[in-house]
Amino acid sequence: MDSGGTVPSKIPVYFQHNRGFIYDVEDYLTLRFTHRIAGNLIGVPASKPRNSHVFGLPAALSAYELKLALEKGLVALVDRTSGLEREPNDGLRQQYEDLVRRQVAEQKAPVVEKRIREFRSYLPKIVEGKRKKMLKSGVKEEDIQIDPEQLIAEERRKVESMEFDRLIQIPMEHPLNTERAIIDFDLSGDHERLKYRVFRDIWEKQNVFISGGDAFGCDFLLYPGDPLYYHASHMIHVLADADHRLDVKYMIRCCRLSVVVNKICVFAYAQRDAGVICYQTVEWEGNVENEF
């Protein structure tokens, strides 16, 4: 574990509540489209905050995706727990105050510019109105001098001094430079490690996307392309002990479920002696020609 404050030149994944989260959109797109690690979007997209069917950042990585990305050197696992639990010092308080002022200024700037554009559109009428007012007050025509740019500058100072309603921005990623540590991650339990070996074996040998299969009653789902565009084609069931006879009722349940959801059922297991990951495909006879 590296307790320094520098994150290596890898994609930072933030470790929170025993899960890895990605907050940066470029980092997430790199993992998804370059390395076929899709994760699970769990946040609310800024463009559609009230849409319950569309999700955005952050993305949560499964334990298997996180372990694979760490092994392949794609990510660095960052833990900020100690820094976030500690009371902020004066430096962090100053950072936060500067952040709030910058956010207010960023919100105010477009409002000011909009008001100035509106003022410019009415500027000829404003100049004419001031000229008529000065004539009525007794000022001679030749003595009237009205500078439009000066009027715009005065209007800008007036608008900038006004109070505006402002939005409260809640950042996804912690905005302050708090203490962080680079940590390791491992899976617990023999069966979890076996499932990871299957996950890694498929990822390395097949150009497919892999996701968790809880929604379909299996261990993993295989997609021939990005899950945004493709349905899953295979259901993977990882057998804990390949030496034991496979329970017939369990096999029938798995096979019938795969038929109902129109997917191919695959049993994965590790040979006891060689430790090689093996696969057994079981499918309905009507689909034998539907090879993946």
Kindly report, residue by residue over 68-81, the tens digit of the pLDDT.
999 999 999 999 88
Task: Map tokens 């059922």 to a residue.
Answer: 265
Residue 7, phi-psi category: left (phi > 0), alpha (psi -120 to 50), beta (remainder): beta
Q: Give me 156's structure tokens.
A: 């800008």
Domains and CATH numbers, the chain: 1-86+178-190 (3.40.1170.20), 90-161 (no CATH), 192-282 (3.40.1350.10)
Name the nearest CA neighbour of 160 among 220, 115, 101.
115
Phi, psi (5° rounding) for residue 45?
A: -70, 140
Q: Give me 139's structure tokens.
A: 């000022």
3-state per-residue secondary structure call for 177-233: CCCCEEECCCCCCHHHHHHHHHHHHHHHHCCCEEEECHHHCCCEEEECCCCCCCCCC
Beta-bridge partners for 14:
21, 78
Identify whether the C-beta of residue 82 lies closer than 8 Å to the C-beta of residue 11.
no
Kindly report, residue by residue over 24-70, the tens digit of the pLDDT.
999 999 999 999 999 999 988 777 777 777 888 899 999 999 999 99
Q: Which residues, other chains included, contact 77 with Cβ-Cβ below 8 Å and sequence gap of 6+? A: 13, 15, 20, 66, 70, 182, 183, 184, 185
More confident residue, 240 or 291: 240
Measured CA to CA, the distance from residue 1 to residue 38 in angstroms comes to 26
Name the nearest CA neighbour of 195 among 219, 179, 159, 211.
219
Catalytic residues: 223, 231, 263
Measured CA to CA, the distance from residue 224 to residue 206 in angstroms comes to 9
Q: Give me 31's structure tokens.
A: 């993992």
Kindly report, residue by residue over 147-203, the tens digit of the pLDDT.
889 999 999 999 888 887 777 766 667 777 777 788 889 998 899 999 999 999 999
